Structures are given as structure tokens and as C-alpha cells.
Amino acid sequence: MKSIVQNINKTLLEKFPLIWNTGLLWMLLITALVHVIFFILGINVFRQPELLQEYYAYEIYVHNGILLFSVVCSVLIIVVWLILLFRHNSFKNYYPTGGWQLFVSFCIYCLLFLLSTTFYTSYAFGYKAYLNKKYPDPKLNAQINTGNLAAAFLSFNPGDYSIDKRKYPAPFDTLYCETKEEQIDFSKPYLQRFNDEYQFYTVVKKLIPNSDHKTLNNAYINSIYQENVSDSLTSFAYRGDVVDVSAMANTELSYYNYSHILFDKYYEGRYYSEPVYSGGYLRKDSVAIAMNREAHSLLERNDVNEFKQLLASFLDIAAELNIRTNLTVDTWLPLINRNNFTVEKFIENSKMLIDTTGRRLEAVELVEPAVDDVTFSVETDTVRNTPENRSKQQQFYRERKTNFYFDAEGLETAFQNIDRIKSYDHWSVLFHFQYWLAFGLSIVLFAFRTSGLSPLLFSIITGIVISILLTLSIIGSNISSELTISYIVFAVGTAILLMPLLFLQQVRKNIQAVFINITLAGIVPYIFLILLIINLHQERYYQQVLGDLYYQKKPDLILELLRGYLSYILLACGFIFVLLYTAVIRKWKALPEG
């Protein structure tokens, strides 16, 4: 094996000296092997599906120590590589080295740093690939749809089955149900159950331009919900006339009233319609109507085999994800009153301990829920909201509560984690940090390889001193204008950039090395500063021209236009500058010492 390695190194030295000098071949092989190992580890992590019930499972490489292990591997590999790399430096020892060779060596440094610091991303790609294969979008969406329909019969909360939740059929899809006792007109028809009152109203909508601030502010008074129709219009909904629905429905808890969506995407409304705000809460009536319609159709068909199939499919999904439950089809189906579909039995939504970081811990024994755990009524203390009525309501729930349980929270978290992991874009999130880290480390290594350790250390110290002096000067001069500060920094940066270009032979070689290194490290921030100055000028110009209409009619500024590509453009500019600047570096190296 040793002879094979020596023969390969000899061939590389004779035919590809740059690859031999940088250790590119062996580094590629080693990092590729480590990446494969991390990828395999990632593929196998979620073969224990209960891990998907953990909060933030999409960042499991942070919680299970893989990120730290990845950092340790990166440090070890980079240190060994640098030790071998520092044994020989053809440029430092005045071997013939062209500008193109210098640039290619810089690119190799950047590539190897990138490969050596991204092992944890291969781990993340591994479990993402596993979940993409095991839960393709059609399967996941079908499971969520099945779960949301079957959840109609997970009778956790009486409030999900009250008459105010009915959205189907007509006219319930267009009515608004008032449940706040202080807002109900008791002189007109209303429904009552224990200490809960329900009064249905028609809905009147009014469109108001967003530019009419006075009218807009007044419109919030007495509105029941608001909806953004466009960037310029907001729709406000108000209660209209009272509608008597007593001939169409009663106040019994009924599966016909169920319109709740139990399984929703993490922080977003993938399974809902566009959000509408009502008293600070999201209203998603269009999807609630669709849910109510689907449940209504199932109840109307009242096919026992269809019920069994739905419940069995749902429990199969739960079993696949190791969800905690003691329900079976045979024990669940009898809980559903298929004669009139009133809700007569309640199931426990099993609780899990949560620690301070939001992670789920071991399951706790099921206990009788406190009164506040179940939503019954408003808190207004009136004749109707009496202790007797509250006691009857609580007794109604306790008499019908069973010993069956289902960890709906665990299933919802699993669905959310699967969806988030599958849709998580590691390239746009992690690689932006990773390739800039690799670029920065490559600049430092390149500066060390071209100038040596002492100039590099002096460059770092000089850069810190210049930054401190600039900051103190700006603060001492009481300068607050962003544009003025930008021009001061631009002037200093330009002076540093021009020093090696205009006065290469007039200034001592070791001092020029400091300017060259600072230029290499600061060229990308310098280019960004130029774009920022242009952006500030554009902003001032449009503020003067448009005045009060600036925020409504201003066009996109340069940083807004480049927003999605700015990072890539700056990175490309950095590489191009290094390529062009190698000519200056070679001229500096050719200067006599002293």
C-alpha cells in the first residue's frame, strides 16, 4: 500500500505538481469517504420514527451531537492537511510560479475547505433523502388528509362539536356565529346549551382603501374579521341581521358540526386557505367549510365498512410513526353513535412533558383533566353563566370521558417534521454560510502562503487598529449620516487598495505585504460598500422626487434587485479579483528584500 501511494505521489509530482503540492487528490478521497459515512448515518437516523415526534427534529444533527462530531472531524482533517501543505511552498521559495497557478491553488484551498467543513450537511442530506423516499408528497398528503378526516372522531374537546363550528351545509357557510354573551341580542332568536349561547348573523362586507388611514382605523371598530384583498384594499366584515337557525340545527354536540383541522403545517397554512384575522386569531373558513363538507358526506353515507376503513388507515399511520395510543378499530368504532351522530364519548389527548427547550420528554400517566383543560364557555358571570350550569357542563364531560387516549400532538409534530425536512433547502440556508467560511479561510491561507506568517499577523493587527480608529473618529465627530460614514470607510478602503497598485516600489516590501493582505481580505466588503453607497443615493433621490408617496411608488433599489443573487455576485467578484490580483502579488514577490 505504501509503495502504491509513493508511486502515485511520484506521478503527480512529475506531471501534476500543483495537485501534488496542495494534496488535492488525497484530500478529495478522504473527505469523500467521510461524507459518505455521514450520509449513511443520516439515512438511518429516522428508522426510529419516534424521533420524528421530537420538536425541531429537522435540526437533529445539532441535538444528537453529530454537528460537534462533524466539527471535530473537520478540525483533524484540516490540521493534518495544513501540516503536510506547509512542508513545501514553491512560491515562497522563488520557484517559477505563474499567476494562473496561484489562482488555481487558491481555488483548490477553497474547494478543500468547503468539503472539509460540511460533513454535517451530508448527514442532513441523508435523512432528507430517506424521508423523501419513504414519504413522497402524494403519500404524505394522503396521510394528512386521512388524519384530518379521522380526527373528527377523536373527540378530545367538546368545543370542536358545538353548533358554532358548523360551516356546512348552507346557510351555515355564509353566517357568523356570535358566542360572546355581551354581544348577543337576547331579544332576538338564539340557541343555548348550558351556559353557552349562540346567535347567528348574516355577514356584511365593506372594502376600504389602505390609503384612507382615518377610515381604516375606524373600520376595526365592531368588525368581526378583516381580510387583505390586495395591496391597496382591505375587506372588513360586520354582523348583519340575526338569522333563526333553530329549525335547521340544535345545540347538541354533533359530529356534523366538526370543521377543525387537526394536523397543520409548522407555522404555515399549507392545509388551510389564506388567513383571515379575527380578534387576533386566524380564521380559515374556506378550508373549514371543506372539512365540514367532507365529514358531513361521510356521516350521511353512514357506511360501517367505510368507517372501519378510515379508522384502520388512520391507526396504521399512527403505528407506522409509533404514536402512543390504546385505540383499535374494534374499541373506537363503538364510541361513535351512528344513530344520530351526537358526541357521547370523549377520548384523552395524551399529554407529554415539555422541557425548557421545547423538547418532548417521557410520557406521563393519564389523569383526569382539570376544568380549564377543556373549553366549555365564556367567562362572563351572568344569570346564564351560573355555577350550576358550569357544574352540569363539567359533569356532562366527565360522565362521558373514556380511558382511551391518542397522542395527536405527537402525530402532528411528526407530520410537521417530515414536511419541513423534505422542503428544507440546505443549499440556500447552510451553503451560504459554508462557502463564505471556505472563502474566508482560503484568503487567510493564501495570504500566509504568499507573504508568510509575520506579514499576516501584522495585517490582522493593522486591520483591527484601523477599524478601531475609524469607529472612534466617527463617534468623536458625531457623524450619524449613513452616507457620510459610508464615504469615509470607502475613502480609507480605496487608499489601502491603491497603495500596492501605485506605490509598489516606493514603499518597503514588508509594509506593502500588509496592504496586500488587507486588500485580499477586504475586497468583498469593499464591493458591497460600493453597492450600498449606490443604494443610499437611490433612496435619497426617490425620497426627494416622490415625497410622501415614496413607500407606495418607489421602484426597487439596487440591493433589492440583487437580493436573491447578491451573495453569488459578491463571491464571483472575490474570485475574479484574486485572479487579477495575482499579478500584483507576483510583482511584490519579485521586489528585493528590505
How far is Cα 445 from Cα 542, in angstroms, rounded to an integer? 44
Q: Which pLDDT value is given to residue 258?
A: 93
- The neighbouring-strand residues paired with 243 are 200
pLDDT above 90 (res 329): yes
pLDDT above 70 (res 223): yes
How far is Cα 106 from Cα 576, in angstroms, rounded to an integer? 11
Cell 373528527 -> residue: 152
Element housing 192 (H / E): strand 191-193
Residue among 180, 187, 158, 185 at smallest CA distance from 224: 180
Q: Which pLDDT value is given to residue 313?
A: 95
- Identify whether the C-beta of residue 309 lies closer than 8 Å to the C-beta of residue 298: no
Residue 450, helix vs strand vs coil: helix
Q: Which pLDDT value is given to residue 379?
A: 42
Q: Supply 514's cell numbers.
A: 500588509
- Identify whether the C-beta of residue 30 lies closer than 8 Å to the C-beta of residue 5: no
Residue 591, helix vs strand vs coil: coil
- Tell me the pLDDT of the chain averaged across its residues: 83
Q: How confident is the model at residue 429 (pLDDT cuts 50, 70, 90)?
A: low
pLDDT above 80 (res 331): yes
- Identify whether the C-beta of residue 66 lies closer than 8 Å to the C-beta of residue 120: yes
pLDDT above 60 (res 384): no
Which tens digit of pLDDT belongs to each residue from 43-101?
Answer: 999 998 989 988 888 888 888 889 999 999 999 999 999 988 888 766 665 565 778 88
pLDDT above 90 (res 579): yes
Which tens digit of pLDDT belongs to each residue from 517-560?
Answer: 999 999 999 999 999 999 999 988 888 888 877 777 778 889 98
How much is the CA Rg of the chain, to the nearest whole Å? 34
Which tens digit of pLDDT belongs to each residue from 100-114?
Answer: 888 999 999 999 999
Peptide bond into 387 cis (omega under 30): no
Q: Which pLDDT value is given to residue 383?
A: 46
Instruction: Enumerate the domain spans of the chain.
Output: 1-134+410-438, 139-406, 452-594
Q: Which pLDDT value is given to residue 498?
A: 92
Residue among 150, 142, 167, 200 at smallest CA distance from 293: 167
Which tens digit of pLDDT belongs to each residue from 11-24?
Answer: 877 777 788 888 88
Mean pLDDT, rounded, for 363-375: 42
- Identify whether the C-beta of residue 139 lies closer than 8 Å to the C-beta of residue 267: no
Q: Which pLDDT value is given to residue 275?
A: 38
How far is Cα 48 from Cα 253, in angstroms, rounded to an integer? 39
Q: 371 versus 232: which is more confidently predicted? A: 232
Q: Which pLDDT value is given to residue 368?
A: 40
Q: Which pLDDT value is given to residue 387?
A: 60
Q: Which pLDDT value is given to residue 93?
A: 58
Residue among 183, 187, 180, 147 at smallest CA distance from 164: 180
Which tens digit of pLDDT belongs to each residue from 171-207?
Answer: 888 888 898 888 888 999 999 888 889 999 998 888 8
Q: How confident is the model at residue 385 (pLDDT cuts 50, 70, 90)?
A: low
- The neighbouring-strand residues paired with 200 are 177, 243
pLDDT above 80 (res 430): no
What percent of the chain is modeled with pLDDT above 70?
87
Q: Which pLDDT value is given to residue 409?
A: 87
pLDDT above 90 (res 266): no
Least confident of 18-22, 302-306, 482-486: 18-22
Q: Supply 188's cell numbers.
A: 332576538
Cell 400517566 -> residue: 365
Least confident of 24-28, 119-123, 278-282, 473-477: 278-282
- The neighbouring-strand residues paired with 238 are 204
Residue among 167, 169, 159, 174 at smallest CA distance from 243: 174
Q: Which pLDDT value is given to residue 386?
A: 58
Rounded to 5 degrees, φ, ψ at 215 are: -65, -35
- Identify whether the C-beta of residue 559 lies closer than 8 Å to the C-beta of residue 581: no
What is 355-375 written as a DSSP string? -TTS-EEEE----PPPGGGS-
